Amino acid sequence: MKAMPPPHLTTQLIHHDYTPPSGFTAPQPAVHKASTVIFPDVAAMRAREWKDKTSYTYGLHGTPTTYQLEERLATLEGGQQCLLVPSGLAAIANVCLALLKTGDEVLIPDNAYGPNKALAEVELSHYGVRHVIYDPLDPSDLAAKITPATKLVWLEAPGSVTLEFPDLLEQVRICRERDVTTVLDNTWGAGLAFCPFDLLGDGRWGVDISVHALTKYPRGGGDVLMGSITTRHAPLHLRIKLTHMRLGLGVGGNDVEAVLRSLPSMALRYQAHDTAARQLALWMQDQDAIAQVLHPALSGSPGHVHWQQLCGAAQGGAGAAAGIFSVVIDARYRQDQVDAFCDALKLFKIGYSWGGPISLVVPYDLPSMRNSATSHLRPGTVVRFSIGLEAVEDLRADLAQALESALRAG
Ligand SMILES: Cc1ncc(COP(=O)(O)O)c(C=O)c1O
């Protein structure tokens, strides 16, 4: 056999000796990034096992770093299997595309995250999947809308923007009775306010799938987009994973590492956002321009009793809630005055999302977002606040000066 000549420097640099460090015991997980995963020989390539996490195939389908985050998120949510996707919305789409086919129906609450409804209205309808909107505050409406074609029911607790907390327990019971798969958008609860797979803590009631926009609290920096899909049922996980593989929904190692790095402080951050949001929501209740404050932990808020039942025992009885709330600005103010109020805020920035360090504000045109009338809401314009990690006194002063300059009484 002819000996190979010594490799060129470029080749040496690519094929440099490298063995992952053993004996380097540090609690921080390493960042592994790869498209190609090298097999020792063809037999090993043919025998590769990708269904469980015992080996690797291709970077798109998992690395030690992504597996690590998936395991920690399964722990956070009380699930058993987890998949990472490039955004919260991608998680919603992945679940729909995995579980729905032509002729099926999907039920979506009227106050669902807007792009979830848009996905159903436009993309799913292209594939012959029908969507039906139900009233999140009336479980009998959900029950009446389930048909033999219903294959998936979306749940959100609380709903987006108006934050009505549904009777999640009853919704899950109805779907279970009718043998329909349930999927909760658990971004608000984040695995901290209640356990989606065990709502009462007695192991009897829970959803089948939990979707989480990791973009919000798990990362908490406002600089990463990512989502997860968690289950407790291996065959259901496999169905979703196969679609995930076919769609190529991989995530980048650096982003995964950023979420891994933020997870240890997540519960503390969630509690800080929660405390500040409740203080500001209570203060807003006393302001003349405000017709209604929507925050599930406030006693007058729609669905407060259901929040109390599910989340009331958390944090030593104080209950747990995400750091967002909305207000209805009284109908006597015109849209341009509401816009001027948002523009007058200095610390609150105008922009979407929540769970990051910077407080945000968004005015909404609610009638264009809802299929049915919202008679439980007072007339006026809905404005949502996402409370960041600034000092609460500074945020209160900012709200006060913007109310004074744009929405002065009289
Ligand atoms: C309730 C809810 N679900 C899902 C998402 C989507 O998350 P992402 O921004 O990561 O796509 C959002 C984003 O605002 C959200 O508010």
Residue 226 Cα: closest atom of ligand 1: 10
Distance from residue 89's CA to the centre of ligand 1 (Å): 6
Q: Which amino acid is at 396?
A: R
Q: Which amino acid is at 389?
A: L
* pLDDT computed for residue 28 by the predictor: 86
Q: Count the Cβ atoms, other than its own, within 10 Å of residue 18.
A: 6
Q: Count the Cβ atoms, other than its own, within 10 Å of residue 289.
A: 20
Cα–Cα distance measured from residue 40 to residue 221, given in angstroms and rounded to the nearest whole number: 40
- In degrees to the nearest 10, what's the CA dihedral of 51, 55, 58, 60? 60
Residue 188 Cα: closest atom of ligand 1: 1
Q: Which SS3 state, helix, strand or coil, does residue 160 take?
A: coil
Nearest CA to 282 out of 294, 269, 270 is that of 294
- Sign of the Cα pseudo-torsion (121, 122, 124, 128, in order): positive
Nearest CA, atom 5, ligand 1 = 88
Residue 352 Cα: closest atom of ligand 1: 14
How do residues 274-300 score in pLDDT, each as one tens digit? 999 999 999 999 999 999 999 999 999
**Does residue 361 contact residue 349 with C-beta atoms inside 8 Å?**
yes
Question: Which residues, in sequence order, are CB contacts of 35 under 8 Å at separation 6+?
Answer: 58, 59, 60
Cα–Cα distance measured from residue 155 to residue 381, given in angstroms and rounded to the nearest whole number: 25
Q: For the chain, what is the mean pLDDT?
A: 95
pTM for this model (two decimals): 0.96
Distance from residue 100's CA to the centre of ligand 1 (Å): 21
User: In the 8-state DSSP scheme, what is residue 367?
Assistant: G
Residue recorded with tokens 């032509």: 102
Residue length of the chain: 410
Cα–Cα distance measured from residue 257 to residue 255, given in angstroms and rounded to the nearest whole number: 5
Q: Count the Cβ atoms, other than its own, within 10 Å of residue 153.
A: 27
Bigger pLDDT: 200 or 10?
A: 200
User: How is residue 390 written in tokens?
Assistant: 């600034």
**Does residue 154 contact residue 109 with C-beta atoms inside 8 Å?**
yes
- Indicate whether 235 pLDDT > 80: yes
Give CA angle at 173 (172, 177), nearest 5°.
Answer: 115
How do 105-109 and 130-134 pair as beta strands? parallel
In the structure, what pLDDT confidence band is assigned to residue 19 with cuts at 50, 70 and 90? confident
Q: Out of 3-7, 62-66, 244-248, which region has the weakest mean confidence (pLDDT)? A: 3-7
Nearest CA, atom 9, ligand 1 = 88
How do 380-386 and 360-364 pair as beta strands? antiparallel
Distance from residue 5's CA to the centre of ligand 1 (Å): 56
* pLDDT computed for residue 190 by the predictor: 97
Report the residue among 187, 214, 352 best suited for mutation to probe ligand 1: largest number of ligand atoms under 8 A from its CB. Answer: 187
Distance from residue 119's CA to the centre of ligand 1 (Å): 13
Distance from residue 360's CA to the centre of ligand 1 (Å): 15
- Indicate whether 1 pLDDT > 80: no
Report the residue among 117, 156, 216 best suited for mutation to probe ligand 1: largest number of ligand atoms under 8 A from its CB. Answer: 216
Q: Phi and psi for 404 in degrees, rounded to 5?
A: -65, -45
DSSP E strands: which ranges in 214-337? 227-231, 290-294, 324-330
- Indicate whether 6 pLDDT > 90: no
Preceding amide of 158 cis, omega within 30: yes
* pLDDT computed for residue 206 by the predictor: 97
Residue 156 Cα: closest atom of ligand 1: 1
- Indicate whether 13 pLDDT > 80: no
Cα–Cα distance measured from residue 292 to residue 286, given in angstroms and rounded to the nearest whole number: 10
Distance from residue 32's CA to the centre of ligand 1 (Å): 27
Residue recorded with tokens 């798990």: 218
How do residues 149-199 score in pLDDT, each as one tens digit? 999 999 999 999 999 999 999 999 999 999 999 999 999 999 999 999 999
Nearest CA to 387 out of 370, 377, 399 is that of 399
Nearest CA, atom 6, ligand 1 = 88
* pLDDT computed for residue 124 by the predictor: 98
Nearest CA, atom 4, ligand 1 = 88
Distance from residue 160's CA to the centre of ligand 1 (Å): 9
How do residues 335-388 score in pLDDT, each as one tens digit? 999 999 999 999 999 999 999 999 999 999 999 999 998 899 999 999 999 999
378 exposed, middle or buried (CB, 10 Å; 0-12, 13-18, 19+)?
Answer: middle
Nearest CA, atom 2, ligand 1 = 113
* pLDDT computed for residue 302 by the predictor: 97
* pLDDT computed for residue 118 by the predictor: 98
Provide the percentage of residues in the chain whose pLDDT is more than 70: 100
Q: Count the Cβ atoms, other than its own, within 10 Å of residue 343.
A: 14
* pLDDT computed for residue 410 by the predictor: 55
Distance from residue 213's CA to the centre of ligand 1 (Å): 5
H or E element, residue 383: strand 380-386
Distance from residue 13's CA to the centre of ligand 1 (Å): 42
Nearest CA to 362 out of 389, 390, 381, 334 is that of 381
- Sign of the Cα pseudo-torsion (196, 199, 204, 207, in order): negative
Protein residues whose CB sits closer than 6 Å to any atom of ligand 1: 87-89, 113, 160, 185, 187, 213, 215, 225, 227, 353
* pLDDT computed for residue 10 by the predictor: 79
- Indicate whether 209 pLDDT > 60: yes
How do residues 96-153 score in pLDDT, each as one tens digit? 999 999 999 999 999 999 999 999 999 999 999 999 999 999 999 999 999 999 999 9
